[in-house]
Structure 1
Amino acid sequence: MADLNRRSLLRTAGRVGAAAGLTTLGARGAWLAAEPHLVRDAAVLDRELRIGYLPITDASALLVAHQRGMLAAAGLPSAKPVLFRSWDALAQALSVGAVDAVHLLMPLALQLRLGKQVPLKVVAWGHTNGSTLTVSDDITSTEQLSGRRLAMPAWWSVHSVLSQRLLREAGLRPVIGEAAGPGTVELVLMAPAEMVAGLAAKSIAGFAVADPFSAVAEKQKIGHVHRFLGDVWADHACCAITVRQDLVDRHPQAVQALTNAVVTAQSWLDDHRSEAGALLTGAGFLPQPEPAVSKVFTRARAPYAKVIQHPDWAPERLGFSAYPHTSYTQALVDQLRTTTIDGETGFLPANAADAHAELVDARFVTTSLQQAGKPIATRKELIGS
């Protein structure tokens, strides 16, 4: 992971607030406060919650929870979310305490918690699906990526896991740190915000990343969706709502308020898809053009009929599901074992269930879903090609 200037990060932490004590949560269920005009619970922190995010639609639940006052209504006022340009920067900010809560790549959260012993916990999923493998317009089959370069946002990402699965299915070998030749594809790291420009400049043949970058590439007519990653792994959770361990230990009521607000925000997003893009761009959270961002929430299936192999999975649909299922974490660990990664993987436990127990604390979101009257559905992992 790229080394960031610790002093700079701590200055960021100072700007967005210092840690403080816990006060009393009101007796009313915070999930009821779905709109900012409703009566609000007593504050559960005597400072604002500090949120970090990347400008992608995966961050929607956290951003909507802040912007529409759902966090404040749950008793957890939040400072304006801080935008980061790369996953390394966001992870470092969480690691040193510059922010309290983020949406974080699930594989990266695993690496930080199990591999680097960073004190963090996944407390909910922020979304499902919402990522694509996007390629230049001259590519019509995966085999045509032979000898080319693909950009990934992080080695520890579902994007890398599923892209490599697709490459192997096509008889191609992903390589890192060496130029691609016949039968191989060079994987390179690139910040999501740089990927569309890289595709336009032809320095890469494609990228796998969260939206809205596929929609931006389509709008600019420089690339197209080759596969929705939700068409490779049904309703996978790319990112999860992740907090510092000390927030769980010292301020559990704040974590409860956070998951209450996230569940409320997800419901709002699901019911207001035609409004979500304008809200996120209008508030300045996402810098991409509003039509591209709005497309992510309202994508029609018909234009993608030729690239979707599992239409019953609805892979083109950005989904909102908060409960972090054990089966998903276990399957993710198993997938990571066969993924080419530039880094140490020996920390992955032999028993994948141990990884889930170490990483995930589902108590709070379980309560949030129960209070909201939302049943926790059973789940079976569907991974195709």
Structure 2
Amino acid sequence: MAATRVTPTREVRALRIVQAKDYPLYVFMLRASEILDFADISRVSRDEAGKLIGYQRPQVRKHIQEIVEYLDSDVPIFPNPIIMALSPDVVFRSTRGGNRHPDDGISDTGRLTIPLPEEGKAKPAWIVDGQQRALALSRAQRKDFPVPITAFIADTVNLQRDQFVRINNTRPLPRGLVTELLPEVDSPLPARLAIRQAPSKLCDVLNTDKSSPFLGMIKRASMSGNKPTNAVVTDTGIVEMIQESLTSPSGCLYPYRDIGRGETDFDSIIKALIIYWSAVRDTFPDAWGKSPEKSRLMHGAGIRAMGRLMDRILGTVDPLREDSPERIREHLALVVPYCRWTAGTWNDIGYRWNEIENGSRYFQELSNYLIRTYQSTRRELM
């Protein structure tokens, strides 16, 4: 008589949560190195007939690498669970007498027995949410890093896809909120966020420094519902203006960075920003401090375009000299006759003052026009 073949299994401690009668949730832990041993990743593709199969979006290499770098940092915290759909072959057994409280019909603890994948056969789980995190965990140095898993039983791709769509259909955090939170983050950030951290800190200073022309004028996400009436400028416009000048070799703030040492002269940057934008305020008093609906100077496109002009002017005028405020005002005066911040139509580009919007086309055309006008007017006076 042939011996019965026993399928190898892995047993984990788990919490069972009853949300829907036929689809309980299981919460348990796996080590980083074990996740892809148990679970497959389905990506969006089509079969030979053109029918959509799978459901995961393509890998994003840069995002995965950012997660790997964070996991390999000194104090990684990984609270977000990987969500899996489990084969119906898994078995859950309650721990008799193991629960401290009487069964409330909602949750109980026990052991989840998961069949291990055999060569050439499908794995017992599919990743519904957390594809990139799972790949990053598999590449991290800490192979024994404990990872929370939330799972449910699903034996059809349709059910998996339905859960994937529902789980991933949440709205991302507002960009303004992320921008405002960045200065408060002490742990290492991915490069794409770290590059926005310094401009966001500088934006905070511009909004709170008593000598700043933007004092109390910058709208931040935390002000929602109780913002002061003079908060008329969006923080994203300010942050983008600073970031572009800091990171572009042609930016006037770029020289204040020592890239080799990883140091930045923030005091000098703040002085330069305050001196230049104070001169802008003094040059356009009728357009300063109004809402973007009444003045396009206070609009995101206006702030960024004047930021581009700042790079040209402060490339000529040292903002740290004593006579710099007067000299900057002299340079700004060259474009005053051609600006239409609150009324009229912009020459050459043909937009009425209130037709300037936040799209890149408007910003590029406005900034190019201001720079061309400034440079041509300077040449005529030389």
- Could you say whether these structures have the same fold, taking a TM-score greater than 0.5 normalized by the shorter chain as the test? no
Richer in strand (by share): 2
| Structure with the greater alpha carbon radius of gyration | 2
TM range (shorter): under 0.3
1 or 2 for the larger relative contact order (CA 8 Å, sep ≥6)? 1
Give TM-score scaled by structure 1 length: 0.22
* TM-score after normalising by structure 2: 0.22
